[in-house]
Amino acid sequence: MNDSRPFGDFAPSGVARWVIDRTRALPEGWAGRRVALILRRLAMKTLKGLPLDLETCGVRMRLYPYKNVCERRILFTPQYFDAEELKILAGRIREGFTFIDVGSNVGWYALFIAREAGASLATRILAVEPQPEIFDRLIYNIRQNPFGMIKAVDCAVADKTGELTLFLDPLNRGEASLKIVNSSQTDAIRVPAVTLLDLLSREGLTRVDAIKLDVEGAEDLVLDPFFRDAPPALYPSLFIVANVPDRWQTDVPALLTGKGYRLILETRMNLVFERNDA
């Protein structure tokens, strides 16, 4: 259950506070990640199912680290969370910057970029999340920060507009997909869905600077109709796409390179593509 009490009511203390301070100070590398994992397990045993409120890189968030990998990563080791991808994205911020966070989860990308942009650049951010429980957390986190440029959208992005089935992983509430991607996904709900092109049209967007697309293996379902139907003027300058080729039926990197993109970063989690004319 999500808790709407005021931010700060669940400030970490005791062992949890001690562990968080130390895991967040660990350096990059195998040894640091290993120590972080051990300490995280120690802290998780002391928690009692309640959320934790804290500031991360200038962003205030309420986090539930129990059945959401994303929230555990933000809580204990934000320095490891897509650091290279976020650095590239932040480096592209300019006046009128428009960023679409598809599969926003609890809002880390959207809030981080809003913090980086500040209030003076007329930035516009859409944070798109289809799962109701996680969407409520996203909304709560947005409201705790003085960033007026984020709009949360509660729908899935898919290959067609309408109502579709979203499959949930009960062990990782942030992993929801239009595809069944692992055997533990036993829950399913019906959610509204739009194509990426319809989303941009509904929001009145005529230009997009960057899109992060993390929809748990359905990235190909989103990109196929977008590149088939969208005018090139709507192609974003930068795409960050979850790196899950075993889940795709379409070769996503080939699709992107065929549309004038080049791969500029590959990590275990993501692929980052930039348009050649950007």
| Helix orientation angle between 69-76 and 14-23, rounded to the nearest 10 degrees | 80
How many angstroms separate the CA atoms of 77 and 71, rounded? Answer: 10
Question: What's the pLDDT at 182?
Answer: 61
Helix (H, G, I), strand (E, B) or coil at 194: strand
Tokens of 266: 């590959």
Per DSSP, which regions of the chain are E strands?
52-56, 59-63, 98-102, 124-128, 150-153, 156-158, 162-169, 172-177, 187-195, 210-213, 238-242, 261-266, 270-275
pLDDT 10s digits, 89-139: 999 999 999 999 999 999 999 999 999 998 777 899 999 999 999 999 999
Question: What's the pLDDT at 184?
Answer: 57
Residue 168 pairs in a beta bridge with 176, 187
Question: What's the pLDDT at 171?
Answer: 84
How many angstroms separate the CA atoms of 181 and 163, rounded? Answer: 20
pLDDT at 185 over 60: no
Q: In CATH, what class is 83-275?
A: alpha beta
pLDDT at 76 over 90: yes
Domain boundaries, the chain: 14-75, 83-275
pLDDT band at 175 (very low <50, low <70, confident <90, very high): confident
- pTM score, two decimals? 0.95
